Homo-oligomer: A and B are copies of this chain.
Amino acid sequence: MTPEREQKLLAVLQRRQPDLTLIAEQVHKSRNIAALIRNCDAAGIAEVQVVKPKEGYQQYRGTALGSDRWVDTALHDTLDLAIEGVRARGMKVYAAHFSEQAVPYREVDYTEPCAIVMGAEKEGISPRAAEQADRHIIIPMQGVVSSLNVSTAAGIILAEVIDQRLKAGFYDRARMPVAWIARKMFEARYP
Binding site for B on A (CB under 8 A): 9, 12, 15, 35, 38-44, 63, 65-67, 69-71, 106, 139-145, 148-149, 151-153, 155-156, 159, 162-163, 166, 171
A1 vs chain B, min Cβ distance (A) = 13
A65 to B, closest residue via Cβ: B145
Given the complex, which residues of B lie within 8 Å of A43, measured CB to CB?
142-143
A10 vs chain B, min Cβ distance (A) = 11
Given the complex, which residues of B lie within 8 Å of A171, measured CB to CB?
142
A151 to B149, CA, bound (A): 10
5 CB < 8 A contacts A-B: A40-B143, A66-B145, A71-B143, A141-B162, A151-B152
Among A43, A63, A140, A152, residue most surrounded by chain B Cβ atoms (within 10 Å): A152
A147 to B, closest residue via Cβ: B65
Q: Would you call A145 and B67 a contact (CB within 8 A)?
A: yes
Given the complex, which residues of B lie within 8 Å of A143, measured CB to CB?
12, 15, 40-44, 67, 70-71
A12 to B140, CA, bound (A): 13
Among A67, A140, A149, residue most surrounded by chain B Cβ atoms (within 10 Å): A149
A36 to B, closest residue via Cβ: B152
A118 to B117, CA, bound (A): 28
A141 to B65, CA, bound (A): 15
Given the complex, which residues of B lie within 8 Å of A41, measured CB to CB?
143-145
Q: Would you call B70 and A144 a contact (CB within 8 A)?
A: yes
Q: Would you call B38 and A148 a contact (CB within 8 A)?
A: yes
Q: Would you call B144 and A12 a contact (CB within 8 A)?
A: yes
Given the complex, which residues of B lie within 8 Å of A67, measured CB to CB?
143-145
